[in-house]
Amino acid sequence: MFSFTTIANYHIALQQNLTSCTIAVQHYLQRIEKQQHLNAFVEVYANEALAKAKLLDEQLYAGLPLKKLHGVVIAIKDVICYQGHTVTAASNILKNFTSLYTATALQYLINEDAIIIGNCNCDEFAMGSTNENSAYGKVLNALDNTKVPGGSSGGSAVAVQANMCMLSLGSDTGGSVRQPADFCGIIGLKPSYGTISRYGLLAYASSFDQIGIFGKTIADVALLLQIMSVPDVMDSTMNQQALTQQLQQYEEKAPNHFKIAFLKQAMQHTSIDGEIAEKINQLKNNLVADKHIVEEVDLDMLDFIVPAYYVLTTAEASTNLSRYDGVRFGHLSPKKPQNLNDFYLNNRSEGFGTEVKRRIMLGTFVLSTGYYDAYYSKAQKIRRLLIEKIEHIFSQYDVVIMPVSPCTAFAIGQNDKDPVAMYLADIFTVFANLTGIGGVAVPLFSHSNNMPFGVQVLCNKKQEVLLLQVADMLLSTQQQA
């Protein structure tokens, strides 16, 4: 029976001939087959994964050294390009579209001998918080099939949660890695903006998007981050200094005590579940008892965050999604158009889902003449003020801790009729994307409703080492409790 704990232990087992890459892939393919009802995968690369596993086993038996991700089974979100494979962003407008190239971040993993087992379901064009907005249907939470897994990277989260792969990649525009990680009880990392190349990531909002990582141990997540954080000439927004060297040392150089800030307004917000607030307050007391410097700080602009986020992201989305018109690629309507306007109208009306249409319309509205200054310009000013505020906080503290979500995973269909309520559920996660800082969801607790939840740790730009060190400390402390 194959059992995966960490990449390091897996590699030891491979070298001691206790398992093989082929056995590992067969195990995960069986898990995927048995759990098809979760609808986590759009496409499974079974034959390709088995062929790659066989090749890697032969290389190991021949005495070749193991690369960093030798035989590690990884799934990817259906917004990440993989040459020769379909990439559709869970949208009918890109149905059956085959990618012509591989995303840089994914290529870095493949170069280290990772095995890509399939691509995962998601909210259409990464727009959603529940993974119900998909052309392939909703994804189910493996812990409770009546609950959502979170979104938009719900399929990638469930793939790790339900042991259908070792790790997975998602994308985070406003919490789309951290929130599903929280709902599924696993680790979800969104690095600071520019840490991982966005080349080959289908865009929702370009100044917010970031590829993120799902896993079950900090060490495994750190390894993937180390490999993917190498600069890329194809992405001019990337930081030009790789985190590789620092990440190799993150465990050895961890300080004994940290300076930690808790956001007062987040902990006292009217939307937060009482049990979540209670557990996080207890965590705060435990950190004080362990001699960490822990203080509450003010963020009096908390209620402006969600409106600013949705104004800016929908504006960017309305521009980014204009390319999907049926001319060069995308859905081509069978209806015969009477003119060019009908041609575009038919293709886009049939190809896009309800939530994507809603956000395109909103984005077009806030960019239109007469409303640009009233909405878009003000949202940009709020973004600048938030960046200045968080930079001031990080000048005094190592990290910030706050809830991931106001609640645990909610029932499927609960917010179908109220998109505004759904948007407001992102109140604690969109802050990191607005300001470009890094964040990780750390699973620490179980609610009385039997669903998991934790906290998110936020770090300043290029401070992922501190982020991982604090997350590791929190997990270790909770396991010892």
Looking at the annotation, which residues are catalytic?
77, 152, 176
Q: Is the pLDDT of residue 212 over 70?
A: yes
One-letter-per-residue 3-state SS of 122-151: CCHHHCCCCCCCCCCCCCCECCECCECCCC
Q: Count the alpha carbons within 13 Å of 387 in the hemisphere toward its beta carbon.
A: 14
pLDDT of residue 336: 93
Residue 204 in contact with residue 313, Cβ under 8 Å?
yes
Q: How many CB atoms lie within 10 A of CB 59?
A: 17
Could you tell me the pTM of the whole model?
0.97
Sheet containing strand 187-190, edge to edge, reads: 41-44, 115-120, 73-77, 167-171, 211-215, 187-190, 438-446, 452-459, 399-403, 259-263, 293-297
Q: Length of the chain, please?
A: 481
List the structure tokens of 407. 């609640």
Rounded mean pLDDT, 296-315: 95
Residue-wise burial string across 71-107, b where 16 or more C-beta atoms lie within 10 A, e elsewhere:
bbbbbbbbbbbbeebebbbbbbbbeebebeebbbbbb
List the structure tokens of 123. 């909210």
pLDDT of residue 245: 60
Q: Is the pLDDT of residue 223 over 70?
A: yes
Instruction: Say whether the peptide bond before residue 448 is cis (omega within 30 degrees of 0).
Output: no
Q: What share of the chain is helix, strand, coil (3-state, %, to 5)?
A: 45, 15, 45
Q: 82-86, 327-331, 415-419, 429-433: lowest mean pLDDT where?
A: 415-419
Reported as a single tens digit per residue, the pLDDT across 444-480 is 999 999 999 999 999 999 999 999 999 999 999 877 6
pLDDT of residue 424: 79
Cross-strand partners of 453: 445
Helices 302-320 & 354-367 angle (0-180, nearest 10)? 100
pLDDT of residue 419: 80
Environment class of 285 (CB within 10 Å of its CB; exposed 0-12, middle 13-18, buried 19+): exposed
Reported as a single tens digit per residue, the pLDDT across 15-28 is 999 999 999 999 99
Residue 75 in contact with residue 41, Cβ under 8 Å?
yes
Task: Give percent of the chain with pLDDT exceeding 70.
Answer: 98
pLDDT of residue 481: 61
Reported as a single tens digit per residue, the pLDDT across 332-369 is 999 999 999 999 999 999 999 999 999 999 999 999 99
Q: Is the pLDDT of residue 243 over 80?
A: no
Reported as a single tens digit per residue, the pLDDT across 191-205 is 999 999 999 999 999
Q: How far apart are CA 294 and CA 267, in angstroms?
A: 14
Residue 300 in contact with residue 269, Cβ under 8 Å?
no
Environment class of 231 (CB within 10 Å of its CB; exposed 0-12, middle 13-18, buried 19+): middle
pLDDT of residue 124: 98
